Amino acid sequence: MAGRVWDPYLTEQDRAHIEASGHRDKGFGARPALLMIDLYRWVFGDRPQPLLEAMEKWPGSCGLAGWEALPHIQSLLATAREVGMPVIHVTGLPEQDAGIVGWAGNARASKKAQDGRAGYMGGDKAKRTSDMFDIVDEVAPIEGEAFLRKSSPSPFFGTPLVGHLNALGVDTLIVAGESTSGCVRASVVDACTHRYNAIVAEECVFDRHESTHAINLFDMHQKYADVLPLAEIQDWMHKWQAPDGYGV
């Protein structure tokens, strides 16, 4: 496999330990599903902008990283639909709907918001707040795909995700979304805890900070998941044959 995104961040001792320890992929199972995590407006904003510009109106933005990952995520989603693989979309549960303060209640407010200065998020703050967890059109659910809302980093907490996966007999979760160091990592760790094989599509996850993105991918690959290039995952998906009635 070619160089990995985390390679520049590893020390000589890290490399020596990896070489001495070896690595064995966990592998795919027979009944996979695609898990799409938090691909909502809050992290994309209205249009592609560098991170520090985007956060003026969208404090939770991931800047250009999200927009650069989006075509890869669209490709992965299209392949899952093509081969008949179940898809689960997950987004946040707005506090105004839940009636309780969620885990991300501060929503990574910018310094302007913390200082109470005028102009935070522009003049349509209420609309932006209500739309923040809307999944962007490019990867929006279609009829027949599961759609869940969560109030914690992991969709395994407080949602019917496990029941849905058990009903389908899923043994493998292919993961895309954001943020690599936050909700993606939490989801992958919980998937491992529930004994699912977790496969992270490297080009299909993103974060606000390059270093945390890279090192969290490295750490997940070492412990909880296989972090693989999109092309390798799609090659496996095209060879996979859905069991009769699977995903119905």
Assess contact for 141 and 89: CB atoms under 8 A: yes
Q: Three-state SS for 87? A: strand
Look at the chain and count its residues. Answer: 248
Q: Is 183 a catalytic residue?
A: yes
Q: Which two tokens stand for residue 155?
A: 């969709």
- DSSP-H helix ranges across 22-137: 41-44, 51-54, 64-83, 95-98, 111-115, 125-131
Assess contact for 177 and 216: CB atoms under 8 A: no
Q: Edge-to-edge strands of the sheet including 87-92? A: 146-150, 87-92, 32-37, 172-178, 197-206, 226-228
| Catalytic option among 62, 183, 192, 204 | 183
| Helix/strand number for the chain, H first, E second | 11, 6
Catalytic residues, which ones? Answer: 183
